[in-house]
Structure 1
Amino acid sequence: MNDYLNVIRNHYADFRGRARRREYWMFYLINTLISVLLYLPFFLQTVTAPDPEAVTPSGLALLSLIAGGLYSLFILIPSLAVSVRRLHDTGRSGWWYLINFVPLVGGLIFLIFMVLGSQPGPNRWGPNPKGQTANVAADW
């Protein structure tokens, strides 16, 4: 939960620097749980209706839909920012985020980038957030 709050409080629109795997994945885990909880009443109303195609949301379901939509807008920029910082941590430019728009394989390639470990030592986006240095071979 601290990683999620850290992204919201300290790195809301920060596209500079690096983000560890833990920061990225904890942010997305908490974000997914909040989204599911917000949209749950709307989902339950549409699934349990006798004719789901003719349902117009009302009451709690409508409130759920509005709250979920507002939350999605609120979390859009931090989601992009933490993804770009995670790409920086793997040694890639933030422009690699656009690979998500390639049908079928783009999302899979992006997922692989997010799972890969940090680039050891500092890179052009800053020092390693883990504090590790690169393994440098001794000069013989």
Structure 2
Amino acid sequence: MTMGEAIRSVLSHYASFDGRATRSEFWWWVLFTIIASLAAGIFDGLAIAPILGRDAFYGPHVLSALLGLALILPGLSVSVRRLHDIDRSGWWILIGLVPLIGNLVLLFWYVQPSQTGRNRFG
């Protein structure tokens, strides 16, 4: 799966928490969100902050905030579908609320290979 295919797949399942997401789909989405966030932050600092009369990289980051709001739901859905791909309930995403250990557990699960064949999620 290419980066473009992964982005199209995630955005076409914008708020769909059922089904499965492959490892490549998930990690291409993560890379896309990192690149988009960096680009929005730079644009905020260099173009929007001077218009608002703020210092370059201090103050409100309007575009970054809007991008974050737009990408939070597809990010959650692809994360839940990735957990489904390794036969874990989507509710396990809440383990990320446990400081440090929870995120390490999620990272470990996200790098696991897909479960072959059908599972209870598809």
TM-score of the superposition, structure 2-length normalised?
0.84
User: Counterpart of 1:99 in 2: which secondary structure?
Assistant: helix
1:25 to 5, 27, 35: 27
Aligned-pair CA distance for 1:120: 1.4
Aligned-pair CA distance for 1:104: 1.6
- In structure 1, give the amino acid aligned to 2:42: L
Please tell me whether Structure 1 or Structure 2 has the larger radius of gyration of its CA atoms.
Answer: 1
- Measure the CA separation in 2 of the matches of 1:63 and 1:2: 35
> In the alignment, which residue of structure 2 is the partner of 1:85?
81
- In structure 1, give the amino acid aligned to 2:41: Y
The two structures, once aligned, show a CA RMSD in angstroms of 2.4
Runs of 4+ in 1 over 4 A off after TM superposition: 41-44, 59-64
Aligned-pair CA distance for 1:40: 2.1
> In the alignment, which residue of structure 1 is the partner of 2:36?
34
- In structure 2, give the amino acid aligned to 1:125: F
Change (3 A) 1:103 1:6: same
The percentage of counterpart residues that share the same residue type is: 40
Aligned length: 114
User: Counterpart of 1:19 in 2: which secondary structure?
Assistant: coil
**Runs (5+) with no aligned partner, structure 1:** 45-55, 127-140
TM-score of the superposition, structure 1-length normalised?
0.74
**Runs (5+) with no aligned partner, structure 2:** 47-51
- In structure 2, give the amino acid aligned to 1:105: I
Q: Is the 8 A contact 1:7 1:82 kept in 2?
A: yes
Q: Is the 8 A contact 1:38 1:64 kept in 2?
A: no
Matched, 1:104 2:100: yes
- Measure the CA separation in 2 of the matches of 1:59 and 1:99: 38
State the Cα deviation string for residues 73-103 of structure 1 (Å, max 9, x = none).
Answer: 0001000000000000000000000010011
- In structure 1, give the amino acid aligned to 2:95: I
- Measure the CA separation in 2 of the matches of 1:63 and 1:100: 28
> In the alignment, which residue of structure 2 is the partner of 1:6?
9
